Structure formats: structure tokens, C-alpha cells
Amino acid sequence: MTNSVSPLQAARAAYQPKLPKVLAESGPNVVAAEGAPTTSVADNESIQRLFPKSYGLPVVTFQAGVGKATQALSVGVILSGGQAPGGHNVIAGLYDGLKKISPNSNLYGFLGGPSGLTENQYVKFDDAFINAYRNTGGFDIIGSGRTKLEKEEQFATVVQNCKALNITGLVVIGGDDSNTNACMLAEYCAKNNTGIKVIGCPKTIDGDLKNEWIEASFGFDTASKVYSELIGNIERDANSAKKYWHFIKLMGRSASHIALECALQTHPNIALISEEVEAKKMTLREIVEEIATAVKKRADAKKDFGIVLVPEGLIEFIPEMKTMIAELNDLLADPYFNGLNDDDDKHQFLNKKMGAGSAQAFNTLPGGIQRQLMMDRDPHGNVQVSRIETEKLLIDLVGDLLNEWKAKGHYKGKFSGQNHFFGYEGRCAAPSNFDADYCFSLGYTAAALLGAGKTGYLSSIRNLTKTADQWVAGGIPLTMMMNIERRHGKEKAVIKKALVELDGKPFLAFAEKRAAWATEDAFLYPGPIQYFGPASVCDRPTETILLERS
């Protein structure tokens, strides 16, 4: 590190993350109490066939007493996928846990994500190295990556590299896909009697890796609080200047947990939830009408300002758009299309070849976005949906509709939009007290699971709405969270992604309030994450988990 550290980092380095009582008092070598054999969330037979060694394992809960960990362990760890606040603390907890089992334990960090394991790029941690990263944000300690570790030949290389270092345990810190692959690796290692155990840790700011047993993925708490800080500041600005509608897009392509959590923290006038759009089969026109109606109502009350939250993945949840994008992907691959030089010709070709619904959906989009969809494609030749600036698109379309209404005399306000997109702003924030404690406990528990000789488990900390001493540590079999889904045209065993449930308590709490929030000024200003103040401020978990678990 060539970095000096900021005053906050210096102060924060001294923070000692809290552990569940049993681990705090007795260390990681405790009794691994086992429940009954488990089943998968669905497709039990298929999962069992695919994971004969890992299927049906019992849930593990750590209890006071002396466990089986008698010798030093050599363990490897990787960070996989997108950054999430607290990753460094998982590694610190793992390191401390392993060293507590034996001062002779070793922890290796494989560099740049899963590819570090296959390419044998690693560092060995020591106290000074780990101490420099305690309670900090980012994944820069060893980097991360998106290489998928899912093929037998990759697994063989991993085993070979681990054996060279006498590594008998691997910890994969990742989201649903990375943990699915961790389970495949665990199964491979068990089947081939490699002696290598694999433990996962649930990471993702998106909040979509959770279920009955995993109450939250780490990073969601911190990231959603950073976004809520910014949304609150913008709300206060809107309410002061009284002249702009701010459209704020929030990271999270496949689930809207972040948008929902931020809505519960900040009370915006409108928050779109992708899962609801899909369930109600809403058209883009209907979404635009819904927003424009709220703008009109507030304008009638002399309030030409407001806040709209937009989940990043919205477009792909609008049925007509989803169909249009699928058709577009096919047509863009047509050699005839690619031979055309003129934008008009391209446009006419698409118009002619698409279904009527898709053609209309395509033509709803402003010219600039149409051009972007025709031109910019990802390495697989697909439309770059993530490049669509949905927040600007909505401002544009809402403005057009309001102009129509104005011409008819239905609307007399002034509409001026400002767009924002928050994602990178929150993924590497220094972890909140909650995430600092939760992550450290997850890592420490991973050490305990390895000490107990477990494999194919996700490190688990439960009872998260209580204070840390009441948290329950253990492990959940990865197969228990799996089902069969169609991915890229093939059936695949995967950890089931948690989308926003429209009959869940967080959504219902939002749905109950949103009509009032739309017209009133009910804005709530959470302010920045605090690390040192009163517990009411510093230790409050997310609204989502409070509603789900209290």
C-alpha cells in the first residue's frame, strides 16, 4: 500500500467487530450441533442426483462446548463477483478464527477472483497485512473477478494448486452464482476424496441471496444506507428548491430489494418495483402514466417537485420490452441487417421484421436510445440493455405525456427532471457497524465450519435483528437453497434467487404508505452512516430485515 489513511480510517481501524456470544466466549472450536437431514427448496431428486455427496446435509448450529478442531489449518479464500461493503472483514474474521484454532494456521488469498485459484496467483496473509484492511470497504485486499468456476478441468487445477500449498479448506465469498459453483466444487472435492472442504459466504449488495435460513447477504445494509443518504439529501434539496423532479436509478438488475429498502428509508413520492411491474404485466406507457399522474396531482397542489426511485433492471421486467429485446437480439444477428449502412434502412428493416407489439415498443423509445440499441452490442452481439439510461428515458416520456396533457388543458404545472444513478457510490463504502460485525462473524464462522470438518455449507449468522451477542452462528447446506432453473437455454441446479415478494412484509409496508407519500411531502432524511454515535443511529439494521424478521 502506498496509501496513507484518512482520519476516519485511522479511527475505524481500532473497532473490534462483535461476535455471537458462543464464538466470543469460546472461540471457533465449539460444538457443531446437527439438525435433521435437509431437502432442497425444490427439485429434490435432480439436486440429489447432481450432488450425491452434498445433498441432504443437516443444518449446523454452533453451541458452547469443545469442538473437533485440534490442528492448524491451511485455508484459501477468494472474493467473487461485484464489490460489497464488508468483504475485508469476512477475511479478517476468517483469519482471526483460523489463528485462534492454531497460531500455525495459514490463510492464503487468491488474487483477482476465481481465476486466482486456477492461475495460482495468491498472497499469504499475516497480522500486519490483515490489520491494514480491518473495517474498511472495497475488495482491494486481493481483488475480485467474474470468472466462472464450474468445469471439471478447472476444479482439477484448483485442487492441484491447493495441494501444492497444503490447503485443505477453501472459502468462497460471493453471490448466488458463485456459491452455486462453490457447491459444485465441494461436491467435486468430496467425490474425488481430495480432502479439501469448501465453505461459502453470502455476499451481494443486491440483497437477492437470502431465504428462510440466510437472513441477509452482506453489503446490502451499508450500500442501501449510502444510497439512502444521497436520496435523502436530494429529497431535502427538492423540497427546498421546489423546482425539480429527481429520477434516481439504483443498482440492482435482477431484484428491486435496494429500491424497496431505500424507499422505506426515505419515503420518496414514487418507487418503482420491477417485480410488481412484471406481476402486473405493466406496459412502459402505464408506468409513464402512473408517474405523470403523480406529477400532475402534486402540480395541482403547487408542488412541481418530487422524487422517483427506479430499479436498474426495470426495462427487462416490462413484458413488452423483454419481448422486444429478445426479438432485437435475433434480428441484430441477421447478416442482411449488418450489411445495411443507413440508420433509416436499419430502422425500417427492424420495424418490418419485429412483431407489431415489439415494433411499437421500440418506437416508443426516443431516437437516441433506438440508435444506441441498434449500434452498441456486448461481446456476444446482444443488445446492451444496461446501457439504457432508464432514468432519462422516463424523464423524457413523462415530459412528453405531460405536454400532451398540457395541450388539452389537463395539466398546468412545470415539469423539469434531473437524473441520477447510484451504484459504484455504495459498493465499496466502509462497512456499517452491522456489516462490520456481520461480515467478521461470517468469516469467523467459516473458520469454525472448516475446523469442524464441514464442506458444502454456507456460513450462516441468524437472529440478525437482535444485538450481536444474541446472533446464532452455524452453517446451511448449499444444496438446501437450490432448485433447477433454465439458464442460457439449459437446465441448471442453482441457488434460488430471492426477488421482492409482493406478499412479503417489506413490500406490503411500502404499498400501504405509497399513496400518501406520492402526494404529501413525507420525505425522510437518514443522513450518512455513523460509526460512533448512539446505538439508535449506528446499529439500526435495514428496514427490510426489521420487517421480515421482527
Residues serving a catalytic function are 206
- Report the alpha-carbon distance of residue 350 to residue 56 in Å, rounded: 51
> Toward a copy of itself, which CB reaches closer, 66 or 241?
241
**9 binds a copy of itself, rule: CB under 8 A:** yes
How far is Cα of residue 142 from the mean position of the Cα atoms in its chain? Answer: 20
**Contact window for a copy of itself (CB under 8 A) among 166-174, 351-359, 459-467, 519-527:** 519-527
Judge whether 312 and 386 are in contact, CB under 8 Å: yes
Residue 246 beta carbon to a copy of itself: minimum distance, rounded to whole angstroms: 7
Nearer to a copy of itself, 44 or 239 (CB): 239
Given the complex with a copy of itself, which of 81 and 456 has the nearer CB atom? 81
CB closer to a copy of itself out of 142 and 468: 142
Please pick, from the candidates 363, 522, 546, 548, the single residue that binds a copy of itself as defined by CB under 8 A. Answer: 522
Give min distance, CB of 368 to a copy of itself, in A: 7
Pick the binder of a copy of itself from 129, 213, 349, 531 (CB under 8 A).
531
What gap in Å lies between CA 207 and CA 188, rounded to an integer? Answer: 28
**In the range 107-166, which residues lie near a copy of itself by CB under 8 A?**
112, 136-140, 143-144
C-alpha cell at 124: 499469504
Q: Is 526 in the site for a copy of itself (CB under 8 A)?
A: yes
Among 124, 151, 163, 242, binds a copy of itself (CB under 8 A): 242
Q: What string of DSSP letters covers 528-548?
A: S--SSS-HHHHS---HHHHHH
Q: How many residues are listed for the chain in this entry?
A: 550
Q: How many CB atoms within 10 Å of residue 258? A: 28
HSE (side-chain half, CA atoms, 13 Å) at 397: 25
Nearer to a copy of itself among residue 212 and residue 343 (C-beta):
343
What character string, x for contact with a copy of itself (CB under 8 A) and - otherwise, covers 255-274?
A: ----------x---------
Site for a copy of itself contains 226 (CB under 8 A): yes
- In angstroms, rounded to a whole number, what is the distance separating the alpha carbons of residues 513 and 216? 24
Cβ(58)–Cβ(36) below 8 Å: yes
Contact letters for a copy of itself, residues 19-58 (x by CB under 8 A): ----------------------------------------
22/18 Cα distance (integer angstroms): 11
Measured CA to CA in angstroms, residue 190 lies from 326, 355, 469, 477 at distances of: 40, 50, 34, 14
CB of 474 to a copy of itself, least distance (A): 29
Rg (CA), the chain: 25
Closer residue to a copy of itself (CB): 149 or 369: 369
**Least separation in angstroms between CB 112 and a copy of itself:** 8
Distance (Å, whole) CA 385 – CA 402: 26
Residue of 291, 367, 285, 283 lying closest to 317 (CA atoms) = 283
Of the residues 34, 290, 400, 425, which one makes contact with a copy of itself according to CB under 8 A: 425
232: contact with a copy of itself by CB under 8 A: yes
**CA geometry: angle at 261 spanning 256 and 265, to 5°?**
150
Residue 492 three-state SS: strand
Nearer to a copy of itself, 3 or 341 (CB): 3
Q: Which of 520, 546, 548, 549 binds a copy of itself (CB under 8 A)?
A: 520
d(CA 26, CA 23): 5
Q: Give the nearer residue to a copy of itself in terms of CB position, either 20 or 541.
A: 541
**Binding-site member from 427, 462, 496, 514 for a copy of itself (CB under 8 A):** 427
- Cβ at position 238, least distance to a copy of itself in Å: 8
Do strands 457-462 and 472-477 pair parallel, antiparallel, or not at all (unpaired)? antiparallel
Minimum distance from CB of 261 to a copy of itself (Å)? 14
In the complex with a copy of itself, which residue's Cβ is closer, 84 or 397?
84
Q: What is the rounded end-to-end Cα distance, in angstroms, of the chain?
A: 43
Q: Which stretch binds a copy of itself (CB under 8 A): 98-106, 452-460, 476-484, 529-537?
A: 529-537
7 touching a copy of itself, by CB under 8 A: yes
Q: Which position among 344, 489, 533, 550 is part of the footprint of a copy of itself (CB under 8 A)?
A: 533
What grid cell was written down for 476?
446451511
Cα 373 to Cα 242: distance, rounded to the nearest angstrom: 35
Q: Which amino acid is at 489?
A: G
Please give the C-alpha separations between residue 215 and each of 221, 266, 295, 329, 550, in angstroms, as whole numbers. Answer: 12, 22, 37, 37, 12
The interface region with a copy of itself, picked from 21-29, 119-127, 442-450, 516-524 by CB under 8 A, is 516-524
The answer to whether 2 contacts a copy of itself (rule: CB under 8 A) is: yes
Quick one: CA dihedral 228, 234, 235, 236, positive or negative? positive
Q: Which of 446, 411, 407, 422 is nearest to 62 (CA)?
A: 446
Query: How many residues belong to the site for a copy of itself (CB under 8 A)?
Result: 64
Stretch that binds a copy of itself, among 334-342, 354-362, 427-435, 470-478 (CB under 8 A): 427-435
Query: What is the CB neighbour count within 10 angstroms for residue 242?
Result: 12
- Binding residues for a copy of itself, rule: CB under 8 A, are 2-12, 82-83, 112, 136-140, 143-144, 226, 229-230, 232-234, 236-237, 239-242, 244, 246, 265, 368, 418, 420, 424-430, 520-534, 536-537, 540
